[in-house]
């Protein structure tokens, strides 16, 4: 069992995927901050219960492989399963653009802090495993 299958690491990994995906959407919003009739997007917050359920269930449903050449049939990209939502649209310019740069910068800073927290926890978790192995 690889280290990434432990519930703590699996959840942190989901969190980091989510933050990565959100960063991409925020970059899209900022890049299109002057595009006429562009509406910003954001990711829906992660659902704790759903994350817990998927992290604690070690056996996901997969296709049966009866020959060595069979593919697993899992979804291609793991990072595309998060739901997106329309941005709040704090104000809309006469050209129909609903991106506020200030708001996006705030979200960006928030995203960065969350990512820092996730990576710090991940490092701490690895440290704990190392301590348990007696290799401090």
Partner 1 sequence: MDFLKTLSIAASGLKAQSGRMRVIAENIANADSTASSPGGEPYRRRIASFRASFDRELQAQVVALGRVQNDRTDFVTRHEPGHPAADAKGDVKYPNVNPLIETVDMREAQRSYEANLNVIGATRRMITRTLDLLRA
The footprint of partner 1 (CB under 8 A) covers 16-17, 19-21, 23-28, 30-36, 38, 79-80, 101, 104-105, 108-109, 111-112, 115-116, 119, 122-123, 126-127
State how far Cα 50 lies from the chain centre. 14
Separation in Å, CA 15 to CA 52, 56, 76, 87, 88: 12, 15, 18, 20, 22
Cβ nearer to partner 1, comparing 28 with 42 = 28
Tokens found for residue 97: 């653009």
Cβ nearer to partner 1, comparing 65 with 113 = 113
- What residues contact 9, with CB distance under 8 A and at least 6 apart? 3, 122, 125
Q: How far is the CB of 98 from partner 1 (least distance, A)?
A: 12
Q: How far is the CB of 73 from partner 1 (least distance, A)?
A: 21
Q: How far is the CB of 85 from partner 1 (least distance, A)?
A: 15
């Amino acid at each position: 069992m690889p280290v990434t299958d432990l519930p703590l690491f699996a959840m942190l990994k989901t969190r980091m995927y989510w933050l990565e995906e959100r960063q991409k959407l925020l970059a899209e919003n900022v890049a299109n901050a002057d595009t006429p009739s562009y509406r910003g997007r954001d990711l829906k917050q992660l659902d704790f219960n759903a994350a817990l359920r998927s992290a604690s269930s070690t056996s996901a449903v997969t296709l049966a492989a009866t020959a060595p050449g069979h593919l697993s049939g899992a979804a291609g990209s793991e990072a595309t399963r998060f739901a997106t939502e329309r941005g709040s649209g704090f104000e809309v310019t006469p050209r129909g653009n609903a991106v506020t740069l200030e708001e996006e910068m705030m979200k960006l800073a928030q995203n960065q802090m969350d990512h820092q927290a996730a990576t710090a926890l991940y490092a701490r978790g690895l440290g704990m495993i190392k301590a348990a192995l007696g290799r401090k």
